[in-house]
Each structure stands twice: as structure tokens, then as C-alpha cells.
Structure 1
Amino acid sequence: MAKKVVKFLNLQILAGKANPAPPIGPVLSQNKLNIMEFCKAFNDRTKEMPSDAVIPVVISVYADKTFTFVTKKPPVSYWIKKAAGLKSGGKLPGREKAGKITMQQVAEIAREKMEDMNAYNESAAVSMVMGTVRSMGIEIEG
């Protein structure tokens, strides 16, 4: 028989850098989960990812105080900043341009993130990425 899920926890953690310090420790201890077990498993699963990438993780907490977790790919904004070579987006989107990105790079980002996005096809995913690019104050070439 399947275990009963009590709660879902959503966290964003740097790849390979999970530790018992806040915010991870307090969230897991409130739900009576083994913090070190999670940290070791998360770090093992994300050791191949870029160390500056923030990884969204969904933790399923079961009634018997065990857990499983699913890691997702870094947010679209991470890939956009990486493609444009920026540390952050524009301070005044729509008024000042922080950088440039090509349409080909937008399509690559959409393909990379497609499984985590709520899009039916690649063109819908490209439109979603384009919206994020614009909201970050970055210009699309092509």
C-alpha cells in the first residue's frame, strides 16, 4: 500500500550546497525529518550541476516521517543571465536595457527547461521565456 503524503515542501537551494543551516534546517526539523539525510542525498544528486545554480526542490513528507524529493532544473532567469553574461537583470525593465540575448539562445533555454514548464509545445515555452527576458530588461536580437 502507498504511503500517505502529509505535506509538500518547496525549497530553492544552491546545487551541491545543502547544509543544516537556515532555511533548510528549520523547515525540515519543523516537519520532523532527518536533516543530514536530506542534505547528503541532495548534494549527491546535484553535484554535477553548476555550483552557482539555484535548484528548486519539492519534498514529499509522508505520515511515517520519511520523505522523498524531486529536483527540478534551475529557473529560466538563471539560464537567461548565463546566456547574456550578466549577474542580474535590469533595475528598470522597459526603460533601460541590461543586456542582449539572441532568439536562438531563447529557443535553447526553452528546450532545456521544457519539462518543468507548464507549456504544451516548444513555441509556447519560447513565448514564456521571451516574457521573462523582457521582464528582466534584456533585449532579444533576431
Structure 2
Amino acid sequence: MAKKIKAIVTLQITAGKANPAPPIGPALAQHGINLMAFCKEYNARTANRMGEIIPAEITIFSDGSFKFNLKSPPTTYLIKKAAGITKGAANPATEKVGKLTRKQLEDIAMQKKEDMNSLDIEGSIRMIAGTARQMGIEVEL
């Protein structure tokens, strides 16, 4: 018989730096899972991507066990990294804080292809370009 799912929690955690302190501790402890076991497993699985923000979708079962799937980093994180900026523009309509080339957009789309709601890579590139424009980044298509 399959285990009964108690909750599904999605968290964005820096790779290799999960610990039971907030925000991870309170979000998971309320569901009764072993925080140290989760932190050790997450850190082990993300050790090769140290420093990146890696979302985890954690499925918690009624017996206190859990499993989790790692997702690709958030699009905004990848855009900021590619553009070499720390944050987007306060007023993206008039202020431009960086620039992305078609090649950079393609690289981001390839990283995000499994998590994107798009049938082809071209659609993913257009979605990422739109996100970049909303952050005040100039886009070359």
C-alpha cells in the first residue's frame, strides 16, 4: 500500500547550506520530519552546485518520512547571474541595469527546460526574455 501524503512543501534553499534554522526549520518541523536528516541529504545532493539557489519540492508522508525533488534555480537568479547584477531595476520601464544576449537566453532556457511550461525552446526563450525585461535588463533577440 502506498504511503499517505501529509503535505507538499516547496522551499528555495542555497545549495550546500541547508540547516534547521529558519526558514527551513519552521516550515518542515510543523509536519514532523527529521530536520537533520533532510538537511544532510539536501546538502549532499547539492554539494556540486554550491552557492546556487536550488528549489526543493518536499513530499512529507504521514509516517514522518519524506522524499524531495530538486528543481532548476529560479529564472530571476539565472538572469541576474548571466547579466552580472545583484538586483533588478527599481523602475524597469525607464532604468536599464544590464544586458543579455540571445546566447545567454538560450543557456538559461536549456537549464530551465524541464521546469518551464513551454513546448519548445523558442517559447522558453521568449518567456525568459520577458522576465528579464521586467527586471530592467535589455534583451537582444
Determine the structure 2 residue equivalent to 1:15: 15
Superposition deviation, residue 141 in structure 1: 2.4
The answer to whether 1:113 aligns with 2:112 is yes
- TM-score scaled by structure 2? 0.96
What amino acid is the match of 1:102?
A: T
Matches within 5 A, 1:26-45: 26-45=26-45
Return the alpha-carbon distance in structure 1 between the equivalents of residues 98 and 31 of structure 2: 43
Residues 89-115 of structure 1 deviation map (CA, whole Å, 9 limit, x = unaligned): 111111110011101111111111100
Unmatched segments (≥5 aa) in structure 2:
none
Question: Residue 122 of structure 1 aligns with which residue?
Answer: 121
Q: Which runs of 5+ in 1 are unaligned?
A: none
SS in 1 for 2:11: strand
Equivalence for 1:131: 130
Q: C-alpha displacement at 1:13, in angstroms?
A: 0.6
Count of aligned residue pairs for this structure pair: 141
In 2: Cα distance, 1:6 partner to 1:110 partner: 33
CA RMSD, aligned part only? 1.0
How many Å separate the matches in 2 of 1:6 and 1:67?
A: 10
If the length of structure 1 is used for normalisation, what is the TM-score?
Answer: 0.95
Counterpart secondary structure, 1:131: helix
What whole-Å deviation, never above 9, does each CA across 1:23-65 have from its counterpart, x for those lacking one?
Answer: 11111111010000000000000010041x2111110011111
